[in-house]
Structures are given as C-alpha cells and as structure tokens.
Amino acid sequence: MMKVMVSVSLAVIISLGLMILCTVISKTTIMDREKMSPFECGFDPKSSARSPFSLQFFLIAILFLIFDIEIAIILPMIITMKTSNIMSWAMTMMVFMLTLIIGLYYEWKNGMLEWAF
C-alpha cells in the first residue's frame, strides 16, 4: 500500500511541477489589439481569419477517441482473465465487443465514416 501511495504522490508532484514550469516559461507579454489581429501584408483582412472546422473531421475524431478508450478498457481485461471466472469474463467481453461493433455498424450504415468533400 505504501508503494502505491508513494508512486501516486510522486506522479502528482511531477505533473504539478511540470505544469508550474510550463506556466512560468510560457509567460508572454500582454497581448494588445494589433498582436491579436490577423496579419495580411499590412492590409485589413478581407474575410474572417477563422475558417469553420469540418463536422466530418469532428465525427472521425470522436470515433477515434471511442476506440482508443476501448483499447484502454480491453487491455486490463486480459490481465484479469487469470483471476476471474472464465464464463463471466467471456460474457462481459462479448457484450462489450458486441456493443462496440453494433455502434460501428450503425455509424457505417448512416454514412458517418464517409469523408464528404
């Protein structure tokens, strides 16, 4: 138990130290209006400097995050296979995978995975 507490406190101390170091290093001067405006060779910009993002890209990014979290959940399940009942472990794994496959099939059939131009 002591090793866990030491490693958690060490992780918290390192992460806080890095956050404080980054805020100290990245201090910038006070931004005035000219520095915040977009630069186009000294002329006023003709259109907005911010272009809208693609909703399709956002959906693909969300899909990536879902399957990334899936991998983070599946990896510990492989380790727990030795200590748990094999039947309940298999049922849990099948339900989890089936839910993800049904979600992927739903997104595929609705055309969410097709990149629109």
Domain ranges for the chain: 59-110
Structure tokens, 26: 């990245």
pTM summary value: 0.45
DSSP letter string, 46-68: SS-SPPPPPHHHHHHHHHHHHHH
Per-residue pLDDT of the chain (117 residues; tens, 9 = 90+): 888 899 999 999 999 999 988 888 876 655 555 666 666 566 655 666 566 777 777 777 888 888 888 888 888 888 888 888 889 888 988 998 898 889 888 888 887 777 665
User: Cβ neighbours of residue 4 under 8 Å, at least 6 residues apart?
Assistant: none
